[in-house]
Amino acid sequence: MNRRRDPQAAPENGAFLIGQALTDAVRHVLTGQGPRCAVAFWGKGFDGFLDRITGRKEYLRVVCDLSMGGCHPDALRSLGAPGNANIRYHDGLHSKVYLSKTGVVIGSANASDNGLGFQSGTAGLIEAATFHSAETATWKAASAWFEDLHGSAPEVDEPALDRAGRLFRPRRGPDGTTSSRPGSLLDMVLANPDQFEDVGFVLASTSSTNDERVAARKSARKAGVKKTIIDEAGDNDLFTGWDEADVLRWPTSFIELWMPRAKLHVWGRTLRGIDPAGGNVIAKKDLRSVRTLLPPDCPAFDDVARLDGETVGRLVKDGGVVYRNGRQLAAALEALV
Residue 170: per-residue pLDDT? 65
Pairing of strands 61-64, 36-39: parallel
Residue 117: per-residue pLDDT? 84
Residue 297: C-alpha distances to residues 89, 129, 179, 180, 293 (Å): 34, 41, 14, 12, 12
DSSP string, 255-281: EEEE-SSS--EEEEEEEEEEETTTTEE
Query: Which class for 224: exposed (0-12), middle (13-18), buried (19 or more C-beta within 10 A)?
Result: exposed
Helical pair 19-30 and 46-53, crossing angle rounded to 10 deg: 70
Is the pLDDT reported for residue 93 higher than 50? yes
% pLDDT > 70, the chain: 91
* Structural domains present in the chain: 16-167 (3.30.870.10), 185-334 (no CATH)
Going edge to edge, which strands form the sheet with 280-285?
A: 238-239, 280-285, 265-275, 253-258, 200-204, 320-323
Which of 3, 152, 17, 5 is closest to 98 using CA atoms? 17
pLDDT tens, 190-208? 888 889 999 999 999 988 9
Is the pLDDT reported for residue 316 higher than 90? no
Q: How many residues does the chain have?
A: 337
CA gap 105, 177 in Å, rounded? 28
CA gap 35, 99 in Å, rounded? 6
The answer to whether 217 and 231 are in contact (CB under 8 A) is no
pLDDT tens, 248-306? 999 999 999 999 888 999 999 999 999 999 999 999 999 999 999 999 999 999 999 99
Is the pLDDT reported for residue 240 higher than 60? yes
Which of 291, 258, 257, 290 is closest to 271 using CA atoms? 290
CA gap 293, 238 in Å, rounded? 23
